[in-house]
């Protein structure tokens, strides 16, 4: 099972704290008393050596030598003469009088019992641990050879006092250890939480980067230099990875668009070849048939009629080839537009003045609404061809005695020229196909009186697109409206 770094750090610090407290308690329980007894023995030994070196029967001097040990180390000092007379005990002077050990003693009174057993004293004494009357004592008993005579020195310290001190110390340490353990664990948890917070943040950022989510960044202001460096590295990696993925996705989109365009172009190429083959097949068959009849001098055939048909079919093929060459030149940039700035309003009025009589002669009603003062940057020759193709389309599809309406207006994003004609609406599923090359509403592609080859609207789209505009068609209640959008003129 895997644990978080916060849990691991908490446990690690808690274990260290418990181990240190355990070591301290072990030392206190098992080593404190022997250590303090050893120190007490050393203090008693040092006091004896001081008395041995600087001994004097002067009570003041003896009190000066022993006072600090008596107060700080809880020792009791007794000094006797050779005859058992008590000279000094626990800092009290003989001249002041005191109650001695085992009854009232007068200053200078000899008492052999005070020495407690002369045989216990030694010239080279050592501190010993003895029991007396159910009480343990640390004691040293030595014989000092002074100028004033032999002196017997007894220094004692109760072990019970040391044990009581150690017991109080152990209880205090237990309480402190418990407090330190609890506070240490809480502090360890809080520190681990604070320490692991930036690591968790960096980990979450890494997971988000792995999931290709680059919206979040790691915290770079961590107090730990290594974690801050790690956050900076992950953020840098995230930015670079996002850049690479965006670039890859853009290239993939471009590749998909290119593949789609190539597939569409391939489909158009095949359709183009099939349509050209079909549209050339008919006039070529007519040319071949009439040429064969002329060659064989077929009876009942007027040569002039044959010549007229051959000339007409040749004109149809010439117009088709010329249109295809013009479209190809525009699409491939072989032929450039010769743009110039002129009044589109006046230009369209002149064009309609020329075309209106021809349309009205066929029984159509022609309406023209032109907004004044509209300027355009365009190639007049190609633009005229585009407008005439739309007018020709309207001529071909307007119902008898129907209405054709030409309108020019300014829009928010360009100049709009539209041509409406009364007629049968275009099916919505086919309205986007009418701008394709060689498209005919009659999918059987039968020839009509106008000898249309299906390039008219495709040429319109090519010309308008080359001008930076767009085109489209809308079905209305009684007919269809074709529109062209041309860019506005940039004011200087």
Q: Following CA atoms 377, 379, 385, 387 in sequence, which dihedral angle do they give, to the nearest 10 degrees?
A: 0
* Confidence tier at 92 by pLDDT (50, 70, 90): very low
The answer to whether residue 204 scores a pLDDT higher than 50 is yes
Phi/psi for 449 (5° steps) reads -65, -30
The answer to whether residue 360 scores a pLDDT higher than 80 is yes
20-34, 36-50, 316-330: least confident range = 316-330
Task: With respect to residue 185, please indicate whether it lies within any of the assigned structural domains.
Answer: no
Domain with 120 in it = 5-166
Task: With respect to residue 190, please indicate whether it lies within any of the assigned structural domains.
Answer: no
Task: With respect to residue 477, please indicate whether it lies within any of the assigned structural domains.
Answer: yes
Q: Write down which residue in 166, 192, 225 finishes a domain.
A: 166
Task: With respect to residue 437, please indicate whether it lies within any of the assigned structural domains.
Answer: yes
88-102, 105-119, 156-170, 176-190: least confident range = 105-119
Task: With respect to residue 309, please indicate whether it lies within any of the assigned structural domains.
Answer: no
3-state secondary structure the chain: CCCCHHHHHHHHHHHHHHHHHHHHHHHHHHCHHHHHHHHHHHHHHHHHHHHHHHCCCCHHHHHHHHHHHHHHHCCEEEEEECCCCEEEECCECHHHCECCCCCCECCCCCCHHHHCCHHHCECCCCCEEEEECCEEEEEEEEEEEECCEEEEEEEEEEHHHHHHHHHHHHHHHHHHHHHHHHHHHHHHHHHHHHHHHHHHHHHHHHHHHHCCCCCCCCCCCCCCHHHHHHHHHHHHHHHHHHHHHHHHHHHHHHHHHHHHHHHHHHHHHHHHHHHHHHHHHHHHHHHHHHHHHHHHCCCCCCHHHHHHHHHHHHHHHHHHHHHHHHHHHHHCCCCCCCCEEEEHHHHHHHHHHHHHHHHHHCCCEEEEEECCCCEEEECHHHHHHHHHHHHHHHHHHCCCCCEEEEEEEEECCEEEEEEEEECCCCCHHHCCCCCCCCCCCCCCCCCCCCCCCCCHHHHHHHHHHHCCCEEEEEECCCEEEEEEEECCCCCC
Beta strands at 128-132 and 479-486: parallel, antiparallel or unpaired = unpaired
* The predicted structure's pLDDT at residue 194: 75
Cβ contacts of 45-52, under 8 Å, gap ≥ 24 = 45/126, 45/127, 45/140, 47/73, 47/75, 47/77, 47/155, 48/125, 48/140, 48/142, 48/153, 48/155, 51/77, 51/79, 51/144, 51/153, 52/142, 52/144
CATH of the domain at 10: 3.30.450
* Confidence tier at 171 by pLDDT (50, 70, 90): confident
* Confidence tier at 2 by pLDDT (50, 70, 90): low
Q: Distance between CA 138 and CA 142 in Å, rounded?
A: 14
* The predicted structure's pLDDT at residue 110: 43
When comparing pLDDT for 430 and 97, which is higher?
Answer: 430
* The predicted structure's pLDDT at residue 361: 92
What is the average pLDDT value for the chain, to the nearest integer?
A: 80
Q: Distance between CA 245 and CA 239 in Å, rounded?
A: 10
* The predicted structure's pLDDT at residue 447: 47
**Predicted TM-score of the model (pTM):** 0.43
Task: With respect to residue 102, please indicate whether it lies within any of the assigned structural domains.
Answer: yes
- The residue-averaged pLDDT of 305-319 equals 81
The answer to whether residue 107 scores a pLDDT higher than 50 is no
* The predicted structure's pLDDT at residue 374: 93
* Confidence tier at 148 by pLDDT (50, 70, 90): confident
Task: With respect to residue 274, please indicate whether it lies within any of the assigned structural domains.
Answer: no
* Confidence tier at 218 by pLDDT (50, 70, 90): low
- The residue-averaged pLDDT of 390-396 equals 91
* Confidence tier at 193 by pLDDT (50, 70, 90): confident
| Residue 278 vs residues 282, 318, 435: alpha-carbon distances, Å | 7, 15, 19
Q: Write down which residue in 166, 189, 220 finishes a domain.
A: 166
* Confidence tier at 484 by pLDDT (50, 70, 90): very high
* The predicted structure's pLDDT at residue 117: 47
Q: Which residues pair with 486 in a beta bridge?
A: 415
When comparing pLDDT for 56 and 480, which is higher?
Answer: 480
* Confidence tier at 113 by pLDDT (50, 70, 90): very low
CATH of the domain at 377: 3.30.565.10
User: Over pLDDT 90: what percentage of the chain?
Assistant: 25
Q: Write down which residue in 166, 192, 216 finishes a domain.
A: 166
96-110, 265-279, 330-344: least confident range = 96-110
| Residue 227 vs residues 188, 202, 238: alpha-carbon distances, Å | 19, 8, 16
89-93, 111-115, 474-478: least confident range = 111-115
Q: How many domains does the chain have?
A: 2
């Amino acid at each position: 099972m895997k644990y978080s770094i916060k849990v691991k750090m908490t446990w690690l610090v808690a274990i260290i704290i418990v181990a240190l407290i355990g070591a301290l308690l072990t030392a206190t329980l098992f080593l404190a008393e022997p250590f303090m007894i050893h120190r007490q023995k050393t203090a008693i030994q040092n006091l004896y050596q001081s008395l041995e070196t600087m001994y004097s029967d002067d009570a003041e001097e003896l009190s000066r030598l022993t006072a600090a040990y008596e107060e700080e180390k809880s020792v009791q000092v007794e000094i006797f003469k050779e005859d058992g007379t008590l000279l000094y005990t626990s800092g009290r002077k003989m001249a002041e009088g005191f109650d001695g050990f085992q009854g009232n003693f007068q200053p200078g009174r000899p008492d052999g019992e005070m020495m407690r057993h002369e045989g216990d004293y030694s010239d080279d004494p050592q501190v010993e641990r003895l029991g007396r009357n159910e009480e343990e004592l640390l004691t040293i008993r030595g014989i000092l050879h002074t100028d004033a005579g032999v002196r017997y020195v007894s220094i004692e310290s109760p072990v019970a006092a040391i044990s009581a001190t150690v017991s109080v110390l152990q209880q205090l340490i237990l309480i402190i250890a418990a407090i330190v353990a609890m506070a240490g664990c809480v502090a360890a948890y809080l520190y681990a939480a604070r320490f692991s917070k930036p690591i968790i943040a960096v980990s979450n950022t890494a997971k988000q980067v792995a999931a290709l989510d680059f919206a979040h960044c790691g915290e770079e202001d961590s107090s730990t230099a290594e974690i801050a460096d790690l956050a900076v590295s992950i953020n840098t990696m995230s930015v670079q990875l996002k850049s690479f993925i965006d670039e890859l996705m853009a290239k993939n989109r471009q590749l998909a668009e290119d593949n789609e365009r190539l597939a569409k172009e391939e489909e158009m190429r095949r359709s183009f070849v099939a349509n050209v083959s079909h549209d050339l097949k008919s006039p070529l068959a007519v040319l071949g048939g009439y040429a064969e009849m002329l060659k064989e001098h077929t009876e009942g055939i007027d040569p002039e009629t044959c010549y007229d048909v051959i000339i007409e079919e040749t004109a149809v093929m010439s117009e088709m080839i010329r249109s295809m060459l013009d479209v190809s030149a525009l699409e491939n940039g072989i032929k450039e537009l010769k743009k110039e700035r002129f009044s589109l309003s006046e230009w369209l009025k002149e064009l309609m003045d020329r075309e209106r009589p021809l349309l009205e002669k066929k029984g159509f009603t022609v309406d023209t609404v032109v907004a004044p003062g509209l300027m355009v940057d365009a190639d007049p020759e190609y633009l005229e061809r585009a407008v005439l193709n739309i007018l020709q389309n309207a001529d071909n599809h307007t119902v008898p005695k129907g209405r054709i309406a030409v309108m020019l207006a300014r829009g928010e994003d360009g100049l709009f020229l539209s041509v409406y004609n009364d007629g049968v609406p275009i099916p919505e599923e086919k309205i986007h196909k009418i701008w394709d090359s060689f498209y005919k509403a009659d999918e059987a592609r039968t020839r009509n009186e106008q000898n249309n080859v299906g390039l008219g609207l495709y040429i319109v789209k090519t010309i308008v697109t080359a001008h930076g505009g767009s085109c489209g068609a809308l079905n209305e209640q009684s007919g269809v409206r074709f529109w062209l959008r041309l860019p506005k003129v940039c004011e200087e």
